[in-house]
Copies of this chain bind each other. A is one copy, B any other.
Amino acid sequence: MAGAEHPEGPGSPAPAARPPARRGGMAGGIIQKMDKGPLGHIVAVGSGKGGVGKSSATALLAAELRRRGATVGILDADITGPSIPKLFGLTGPLSDHGEGIEPASTPSGIRVVSSQFLVEDERTPVIWRGPLVTRLILQFFQGVNWGPLDYLLIDMPPGTSDVPLTVFQTIPIDGMVFVLTPQDLARLIVTKAMNMARDLHVPLLGLVENMSYLSCPHCGKSIDLFGPSQAAKVSTEYDIPILARLPLDPAISAACDAGTVDALVLPDVARYADGLLEAIRAHEKDRPALL
């Protein structure tokens, strides 16, 4: 992408202090969104709340789109709690041959950039305050040779602080998918994130309810772990579709821990991808100016 303009590699742990002048960013106090470049669709996946399965929902979606022949990248924006590399069994470091950062690649060819690749020991924390985190996000967007991609997915961290503010204000995302669980607490916190996105004019593409159901592997009966679903209520209130309901499935947990999410094929995920593509099309039709 804009690698040639920003040749700083991952060698320096703190991203370059130079502002992203040529491709947008802050200019005279006015925040401009950066150019989309050769990226077809940019979709953020978030929740506000941690641990609801944002990263697995991102990874499963990427794998499904890739299986359908699309070129796909994942920008892991959870700088201080990165999960994406683990889900695909990827390790760093990233390479840079003087023309920008080369993303890592999963077995199926999904391109991935994550702060996890910047540390030698996977257990080393990235202890950075907001401004540094923000700069790394921008470098991950504009300093990486993403190449032409049909879809760039952004795995968002929990919270409504620096990272979502920066992503919403400076990266030209087409919209955001929100992940929640049936817990009422997750509903509460995802609505905070949805209100933030709406305030910042980011289209809400749809909901994914994760840990939606669980079947006992012994007796086959359904277990109501987290109370009744809240997705229908949120869907109606915000007038956005439910893209998928994903199960709490030991097979998904096992694939996440083994780094083999790439190879996981689930009918629920196929429906999720269908729903997302439909939502993107609907937004393109309704609001051409935003896309």
Contact = CB atoms under 8 A, between A and B. Distances in A.
Interface of A: 48-52, 78-81, 83, 86-87, 122-131, 133, 157-162, 165, 183-185, 188-189, 191-193, 195-196, 199, 214, 216-219, 221, 223-227, 248, 250, 253-254, 256-257
B219 A218 contact: yes
A185 B49 contact: no
Counted per complex, copies of this chain come to 2
A282 B78 CA distance: 36
A165 B250 CA distance: 35
Nearest first, the 3 A-B pairs at minimum CB distance are A50-B50, A51-B51, A130-B130
B124 A81 contact: no
Given A191-B123, A221-B218, A165 B129 contact: yes
> Which of the listed residues A81, A188, A191, A248 has the most CB atoms from chain B within 10 Å of its own CB?
A81
A161 B183 contact: no
Contacts of A129: 130, 161-162, 165
Given A123-B191, A125-B48, A226-B253, A80 B159 contact: yes
A185 B257 contact: yes
A52 B185 CA distance: 13
B51 A196 contact: no
B189 A81 contact: yes
Nearest to A87: B185
Nearest to A250: B225
Contacts of A196: 125, 127
Given A123-B195, A256-B185, A159 B81 contact: yes
Contacts of A224: 250
